[in-house]
Structure 1
Amino acid sequence: MSIQDIIEGKKHWRAHQARVKALPPDYRIVYQEMQRYLFKVGPVDLAEGPLLPGIVDFFEEGVTTGKGVLELIGTDVAAFCDGLIKDSPTYADAYQEAGRADPVD
Structure 2
Amino acid sequence: IVSLISLAILSYERYSTLTLCNRRGPDFRKALLAVGGSWLYSLIWTVPPLLGWSSYGVEGAGTSCSVRWTSETPDSVSYIICLFIFCLVIPVMVMIYCYGRLMYAVKQ
Structure 2 length-normalised TM: 0.36
Decide which structure has greater strand share.
Answer: 2
Which structure has the greater CA radius of gyration? Answer: 2
Normalising by structure 1, what TM-score? 0.37
